[in-house]
Amino acid sequence: MAKKTTQRRAGRPRKPAAEIVQAKPTGLEISVLLPTWNNLSILWLQLEALLRQQTQRNYEIVIHECPVSGGYPSWGLIEDYEVKFGNLGVQVTYLQAEKRTHLVDKWRILAQAAKSDNVLMVASDNYTPSAAIEAYCDAFNQGHDWIDCPNGYFYDIVSRKVAKYKAPEGRTGLLFATKKSYIDSLPSKNLDKGIDGYIRSTINPVSIANLEFIDGVLTDGYQSISHHRSAKYSGLHKKPPFYDTDTQLEDLVPSDIAMRLRKMKPFVVT
């Protein structure tokens, strides 16, 4: 666990504020938690997804970055997006760990910094569905305390193909949200089933909801973890829970995002 986590605000001069294109809602309803490490080249994907959410909800974004060779490569990019989010009335809190931090500790640090008891976990190399914040807020307001998205799509950067993903029965899907208090209560050990598995089996949420979205995508073959997963399936997911699909990348993300993703080079192990 990091010895110290600090919130950074100083940095490069701010860019002039852009025109506000979305009304500023009141009453914080959800905190989006985003851990990042050594992925500057693709972090833009999730930030764009959150920037383009089709919602009038009041949400915040909390980002936690672990250092790479003693530095924080995403700092400048995050500051640029902080201005863009600010024009929409969305606060961005940026946390820096002193050293590389275990995933469970990242979630705990992020949850502790969240201002809402409703927290949505997102990954830095994914494009979250455009209606995600709206849908998850609705589910929380309906009394659910564990909200999952069991099915969705992967885009493999190696093969340039899309595969559909269907989570096995009883397993966590692609994008989950829960209560801040559940994350706060996670132990630092004995998480053999992972963070999501521990919460579902040990804390036992009162009400579970499953959501479906028509857009959004997870990427494979770029990050070190997804690279290994992609290699396992030879650049194309051929075994359950992955299935062939006629869906194209342009069906899942805006055309400019699809174009940018198609230009990305596969992850190279060094």
> Does 223 score more than 50 pLDDT?
yes
Which of 40-49, 87-96, 161-170, 247-256 is predicted with the least confidence, judged by mean pLDDT? 161-170
CB 269 within 8 A of CB 260: no
pLDDT of 4 reads 38
Question: Distance between CA 177 and CA 262 in Å, rounded?
Answer: 29
Q: What is the mean pLDDT of residues 244-248?
A: 95
> Does 170 score more than 70 pLDDT?
yes
Domains defined along the chain, listed by start: 5-262 (3.90.550.10)
* Spatial CA neighbour of 153 closest among 214, 211, 225: 214
Work out the percent of the chain whose per-residue pLDDT is above 90.
58
pLDDT tier for residue 209 given thresholds of 50, 70 and 90: very high
Q: What is the mean pLDDT of residues 210-215?
A: 96
> Does 30 score more than 80 pLDDT?
yes
CB 264 within 8 A of CB 41: yes
Question: Distance between CA 128 and CA 213 in Å, rounded?
Answer: 10
pLDDT of 11 reads 44
The string of pLDDT tens digits covering residues 71-90 is 999 999 999 999 999 999 99
CB 41 within 8 A of CB 125: no
H-only helix segments in the chain: 40-51, 75-86, 103-113, 132-141, 180-184, 194-198, 224-232, 255-262
State the average pLDDT for the chain: 84
* Spatial CA neighbour of 200 closest among 145, 240, 151: 145
> Does 258 score more than 70 pLDDT?
yes
pLDDT tier for residue 168 given thresholds of 50, 70 and 90: confident
The string of pLDDT tens digits covering residues 174-208 is 899 999 999 988 877 666 557 777 787 788 888 98
pLDDT of 238 reads 76
pLDDT of 14 reads 38
Question: Distance between CA 106 and CA 191 in Å, rounded?
Answer: 14
